[in-house]
Amino acid sequence: MQGTPQPTQPTPPAEGYAPTARTVPTRSRERAAYDRELVHAILDEAYVCHLGFVRDGAPVVLPTLYGRVGERLYLHGSTGSRPLRMAGAADPGLPVCVTVTHVDGLVLARSAFHHSVNYRSVVVHGVAHPVTDAEEKRAALDALVDHVAPGRAADSRPANAKELAATAVLRLDLREVSAKLRTGGVSDEPEDLSLPHWAGVIPVRREYGAPVAEADLSPGVELPGYLAEL
C-alpha cells in the first residue's frame, strides 16, 4: 500500500549466527554449525519446510513451501489457514520454529544401535509476522515461485487481485538459526568390526525426471531453458 514503509531486512551476520540456548543441541554438539553461507545453501536447496507453532496449548507442525530473500524467509498459505490467522491476530506475531532437512545417505552399521543417516538440516526460531504491504507480498510470492524453479516467476501469469486476497504470506527473519550435519561413514564399536554383517553408506541423491508437458499446451510453446537445465 502506498505510504506503508516496508520492514527493513535484518542486518546480515558478519560471519555467522550467534548460538543461543535454543540453537545449541544437547547432544552431538560437534555437528552444529552457525555459518551463514552454509545455512543459506541448505535452505536454498530444499523445497519444503516444516512450520511448527502452538495452538490451544498443543504443538502443530505443517509442511509448506517457502522462499528466502536475504536474511528472511517467506512462507505462504491460504488466508484461512491456522498459522496465518494466528499470526495476524497475535501481537507481536506468532512464535514459530521452522525446519528444513536433506537426507544425503543411509548409514548401515553392523549393530542396530549405530544405524544412522547422513543429513544436513537447519532450524530457525523466531516470531512470524503477516506480510501486509502489497509490494512486499508480490515480491515474496515471486521469491516462492522462483525458489521452486529459478526464472519461473517472470515466465508465468502473476496472481490477480482475487488470488492475492486468498493468499497470505508470513515473514520470518533469520536471527536465531543453526545448522546441523552428519557426514562420513559407520561408527561401529571395535568389538563389532569382525561381525559378518555388511556395513557402509548408501548415498541418497535428488534426481529430476524428464519434463512431462500438459496435453493442452498452446501450439509453439516450448520447454524453457531454465527448466531444461534442471
**Using CA of residue 94, residue 92, residue 87, residue 128, what is the dihedral sign?**
negative
Mean pLDDT of the chain: 89
pLDDT tens digits along 187-208: 999 999 999 999 999 999 999 9
Q: Which helix (H) or strand (E) holds 32?
A: strand 32-33
pLDDT surpasses 50 at 11: yes
Reduce the DSSP state of residue 131 to 3 states and report it: coil
Query: Which domains are present in the chain?
Result: 29-186+197-205 (2.30.110.10)
Mean pLDDT of 23-30: 85
Q: Please tell me the pTM assigned to this model.
A: 0.87
Cis peptide leading into residue 83 (ω within 30°): no
pLDDT tens digits along 59-107: 999 999 999 999 999 998 766 666 666 665 556 789 999 999 999 999 9
All three cell numbers of 215, joined, read 496435453
pLDDT surpasses 60 at 3: no
Q: Strands (DSSP E) along 36-185, which ranges?
A: 48-55, 58-68, 72-78, 94-108, 116-130, 167-173, 176-182
